[in-house]
């Protein structure tokens, strides 16, 4: 992976922590549903949820390009944990950019530092806004705050002592985004059916039975929502691409290791390590450029969506290649290539899934062609 460690960017310290604390847990996270709480806390203390950026006088800074590097590094060891890092860092990204200062002041430092762990329950909303499904949460006014009802079938990195960021529809007005503490009254947390992978991500079913949200937990009111979502969407997507970069990097390592013993026959397979590494390097370069634009709110969304889609495609290709290069060993449940295969599929189905991305890309291109023809 790319490596830009400098005195003010603690990637070496994060790499050492990941090697000593996370790597030994990868199988337990994948196969036993172990949630790496201690690692997440330590990573947060190193700036691992804010791109290694320092604190200003009143809040942590956030370096999106470097956060992509951090998430990729974690993902090269464990895709499930990279997803948790994305959840946490994306919530910090939300909070840093909320137009409502009271919500930012209440939560941003604790989330960015990993003191308060957080999940982003925006999957349903993102799909709803793309015309894929109905929104599942509704809200009504309650003074300066809201009362939220509905069910989200699965939200990750959540628990009774976590925070969760969700969106809801206020009928006749639009949408809101709010932060809700996991122990809030009338919020029920339930287990989900078992998945084939990603079981260590603390993914739960959230049921809102009239949950009160105070004004200082509102990230966006209806009149702020559209602009706010536009501001945070590129960072949301680029952070997910970093997960794919990490899984791909892990697959490339497996291919390289397998070729040390079986290069004479592996040479007949598609998806060699040098080919995949070249594709990954191209995507990394593009992501860094888009992250610099997203940092200031100026990233064009179509190239971001296209990058995210290509990342899913590359991750799937790399994971399939890694299993084939590993041979029968790669079909053993405890082999890293088998885990990578399931992690890669997750990169391609987590919202926005590859089919969702292609729909949004199609719709935006169609709109652009119509505008050019007008």
Q: Is the dihedral of CA 238, 303, 125, 222 positive or negative?
A: positive
Using CA atoms, how far apart are residues 242 and 245, in angstroms rounded to an integer?
Answer: 5
Question: Tokens 């940092």 — which residue?
Answer: 295
How many other β-carbons are positioned within 10 Å of the β-carbon of residue 366? 10
* pLDDT at residue 372, rounded to an integer: 87
Using CA atoms, how far apart are residues 92 and 50, in angstroms rounded to an integer?
Answer: 7
* pLDDT at residue 140, rounded to an integer: 98
Q: Is the dihedral of CA 121, 127, 129, 134 positive or negative?
A: negative
The conformation of residue 186, written as its DSSP 8-state character, comes to T
Checking DSSP bridges between strand 174-181 and strand 218-220, what pairing results, if any?
Answer: antiparallel
Cis ω before 352 (30° cut-off from 0): yes
Strand partners, 175: 169
- Within 8 A by CB and 6+ apart from 172, the residues are none
The model's pTM: 0.95
Inter-residue contact 97 to 231 (CB < 8 Å): yes
Reduced to 3 states (helix: H, G, I; strand: E, B; else coil), residue 15 is: helix
- Residue whose C-alpha is closest to residue 246's, from 132, 336, 324, 140: 336
* pLDDT at residue 57, rounded to an integer: 55
Q: Which two tokens stand for residue 17?
A: 């922590």
The tens-digit pLDDT sequence of the chain (374 residues) is: 444 545 568 899 999 999 999 999 999 999 999 999 999 999 999 999 999 887 665 667 899 999 999 999 999 999 999 999 999 999 999 999 999 999 999 999 999 999 999 999 999 999 999 999 999 999 999 999 999 999 999 999 999 999 999 999 999 999 999 999 999 999 999 998 888 888 899 999 999 999 999 999 999 999 999 999 999 999 999 999 999 999 999 999 999 999 989 999 999 999 999 999 999 999 999 999 999 999 999 999 999 999 999 999 999 999 999 999 999 988 888 899 999 999 999 999 999 999 999 999 999 999 988 888 87
Q: E strands within the chain? A: 118-121, 137-142, 145-155, 163-170, 174-181, 187-191, 204-213, 218-220
Inter-residue contact 14 to 40 (CB < 8 Å): no
The conformation of residue 160, written as its DSSP 8-state character, comes to T
Angle of CA points 129, 130, 134, to nearest 5°: 60
Checking DSSP bridges between strand 204-213 and strand 187-191, what pairing results, if any?
Answer: antiparallel
């Amino acid at each position: 992976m790319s490596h830009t460690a400098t005195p003010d960017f603690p990637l070496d310290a994060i790499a050492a922590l990941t090697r000593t604390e996370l790597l030994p847990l990868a199988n337990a996270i994948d196969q036993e549903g172990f949630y790496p709480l201690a690692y997440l806390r330590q990573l947060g203390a190193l700036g691992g949820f804010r791109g290694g950026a320092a604190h200003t006088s009143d809040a942590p800074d956030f370096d999106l390009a470097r956060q992509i590097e951090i998430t990729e590094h974690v993902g090269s060891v464990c895709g499930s944990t990279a997803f948790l890092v994305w959840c946490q860092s994306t919530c910090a990204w939300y909070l840093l950019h909320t137009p409502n200062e009271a919500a930012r002041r209440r939560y941003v430092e604790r989330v960015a530092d990993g003191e308060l762990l957080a999940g982003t329950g925006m999957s349903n909303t993102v799909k709803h806004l793309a015309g894929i499904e109905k929104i599942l949460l509704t809200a009504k006014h309650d003074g300066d705050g809201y009362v939220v009802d509905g069910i989200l079938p699965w939200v990750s990195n959540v628990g009774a002592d976590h925070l969760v960021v969700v969106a809801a529809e206020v009928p006749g007005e639009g949408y809101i985004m709010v932060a809700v503490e996991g122990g809030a009254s009338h919020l029920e947390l339930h287990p989900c059916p078992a998945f084939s992978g990603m079981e260590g991500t603390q993914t739960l079913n959230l049921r809102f039975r009239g949950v009160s949200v105070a004004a200082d937990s509102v990230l966006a009111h209806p009149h702020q929502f559209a602009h706010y979502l536009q501001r945070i969407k590129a960072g949301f997507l680029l952070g997910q691409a970093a997960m794919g970069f990490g899984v791909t990097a892990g697959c490339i390592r497996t291919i390289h290791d397998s070729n040390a013993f079986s290069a004479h026959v592996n040479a007949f397979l598609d998806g060699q390590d040098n080919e995949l590494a070249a594709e990954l390097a191209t995507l990394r370069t593009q992501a860094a450029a888009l992250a610099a634009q997203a940092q200031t709110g100026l990233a064009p969304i179509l190239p971001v969506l296209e990058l995210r889609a290509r990342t899913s495609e590359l991750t799937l290709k790399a994971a399939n290649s890694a299993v084939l290069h590993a041979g029968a060993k790669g079909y053993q449940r405890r082999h890293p290539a088998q885990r990578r295969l399931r992690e890669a599929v997750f990169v391609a189905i987590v919202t926005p899934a590859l089919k969702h991305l292609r729909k949004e890309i199609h719709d935006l291109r169609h709109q652009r062609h119509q505008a050019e023809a007008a």
